[in-house]
């Protein structure tokens, strides 16, 4: 499977948020993932939001998290990724700004992360869609996004010249964008030569939920996000004429859910909440179904 100029051993990957610091690459690769996305990584270590900050909504097969990008920082993750990595595993890093970095200075954080990780990974992701870092989603607005991604593209080209190869740059978008906001974001993404999108991050919307934890603040993932993310993939595919590669993520709990994302226009898929409710066997089940 080819996407973003890379060759993937299969279409199933692990979404960012599961292995924030690159601690479990070899074990995760053994489960059958074709790619693993580390992070979200910030330049400096940070504790994230106060605990408790992740909740299992069993009745809804969902999670709510308000983690706030906790992690050990870019320097430690870079040391981890500089070691031997699993054969054939495509590796990405999802990048975010530190909580204390202002929106005006956010591009400095992302540029620093590109410099650190471009030599170490296969692709990079600009995360401007987490609902758990105050103000972060404002960077998805048309002009703010144009300014940020323009700077990211220029830095990526500098790294390309230094490294002698192109490191694909993707953007992870929010499912809470209106149709117009999504179309604006996609226009900017195409104009700034970004290689693809991830659809989608968690949602602050609360569809009909059964769990008594439904009122917790944070981003909702899992089964209730499935149809929203699928519709978003369809809109991205239509808007871009199928010319912008999409990684589909959100509510994939079964092989049929995975196929739904691919049928909607996704090139690759990623799992997160499905691992919580279906366990690691879900990876093999999806791969077997896709290969039949």
What b/e string do you get for 138-169 counting C-beta neighbours within 10 Å, with b at 16 or more? ebbbeebbbbbbebbbebbeebeeeeeebbbb
Q: Is 219 helix (H, G, I), strand (E, B) or coil?
A: strand
Q: Are 209 and 62 in contact (CB under 8 A)?
A: yes
CA triple 156-69-247, angle to 5 deg:
55
Neighbouring residues of 73: CB distance < 8 A, sequence distance ≥ 6: 41, 42, 43, 44, 45, 46
Summarised one tens digit per residue, pLDDT across range 48-59 is 999 999 999 999
User: Hey, how many other C-beta atoms are within 10 angstroms of the C-beta on 250?
Assistant: 32
Catalytic residue among 107, 129, 130, 229: 130
* pLDDT (0 to 100) of residue 292: 85
What is the Cα–Cα distance from 263 to 248, expressed in whole angstroms? 10
**Does the reported pTM lie above 0.85?**
yes
Q: Is 26 helix (H, G, I), strand (E, B) or coil?
A: helix
Strands (E), 138-290: 169-173, 196-199, 219-222, 246-249, 268-271
What is the Cα–Cα distance from 245 to 195, expressed in whole angstroms? 7
Our answer to whether residue 227 is catalytic in this structure is no
Residue 203's pLDDT band (cuts 50, 70, 90): very high
Share of the chain above pLDDT 90, in %: 98
Q: For residues 238-247, give the mean pLDDT.
A: 97
Task: Tell me the backbone φ, ψ of residue 165, rounded to 5 degrees.
Answer: -150, 155
Summarised one tens digit per residue, pLDDT across range 51-103 is 999 999 999 999 999 999 999 999 999 999 998 889 899 999 999 999 999 99
* pLDDT (0 to 100) of residue 134: 93
Residue 1's pLDDT band (cuts 50, 70, 90): confident
Summarised one tens digit per residue, pLDDT across range 22-43 is 999 999 999 999 999 999 999 9
Which residue's structure tokens are 């609902």?
Answer: 131
Whether the per-residue pLDDT at 13 is higher than 90: the answer is yes
Total domains in the chain come to 1
Q: What is the CATH number of the domain that holds 122?
A: 3.20.20.70
What is the Cα–Cα distance from 1 to 12, expressed in whole angstroms? 10
Summarised one tens digit per residue, pLDDT across range 135-189 is 999 999 999 999 999 999 999 999 999 999 999 999 999 999 999 999 999 999 9
The whole domain housing 168 covers 2-291
* pLDDT (0 to 100) of residue 152: 96
């Amino acid at each position: 499977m080819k996407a973003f100029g890379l060759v993937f051993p299969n279409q199933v990957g692990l979404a960012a948020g599961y292995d924030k610091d690159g601690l479990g690459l070899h074990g995760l690769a053994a489960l059958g993932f074709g790619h693993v996305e580390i992070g979200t990584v910030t330049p400096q270590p940070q504790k994230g939001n106060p605990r408790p900050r992740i909740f299992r909504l069993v009745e809804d097969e969902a999670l709510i998290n308000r983690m706030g990008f906790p992690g050990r920082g870019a320097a430690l993750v870079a040391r981890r990724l500089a070691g031997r990595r699993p054969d054939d595993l495509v590796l990405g890093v999802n990048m975010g700004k530190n909580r204390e970095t202002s929106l005006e200075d956010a591009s400095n954080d992302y540029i620093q992360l590109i410099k650190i990780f471009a030599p170490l990974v296969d692709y990079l992701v600009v995360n401007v869609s987490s609902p758990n870092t105050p103000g972060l989603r404002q960077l998805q607005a048309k002009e703010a996004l144009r300014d940020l991604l323009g700077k990211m593209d220029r830095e990526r080209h500098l790294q390309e010249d230094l490294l002698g190869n192109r490191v694909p740059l993707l953007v992870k978008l929010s499912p809470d964008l209106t149709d117009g906001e999504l179309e604006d974001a996609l226009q900017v993404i195409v104009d700034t030569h970004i290689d693809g999108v991830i659809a989608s991050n968690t949602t602050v919307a609360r569809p009909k939920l059964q769990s008594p934890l439904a009122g917790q603040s944070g981003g909702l993932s899992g089964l209730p996000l499935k149809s929203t993310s699928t519709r978003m993939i369809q809109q991205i595919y239509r808007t871009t004429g199928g010319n912008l590669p999409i990684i589909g993520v959100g509510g994939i709990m079964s092989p049929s859910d995975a196929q739904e994302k691919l049928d909607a226009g996704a090139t690759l898929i990623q799992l997160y909440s499905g691992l919580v409710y279906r366990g690691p066997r879900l990876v093999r089940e999806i791969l077997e179904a896709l290969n039949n």
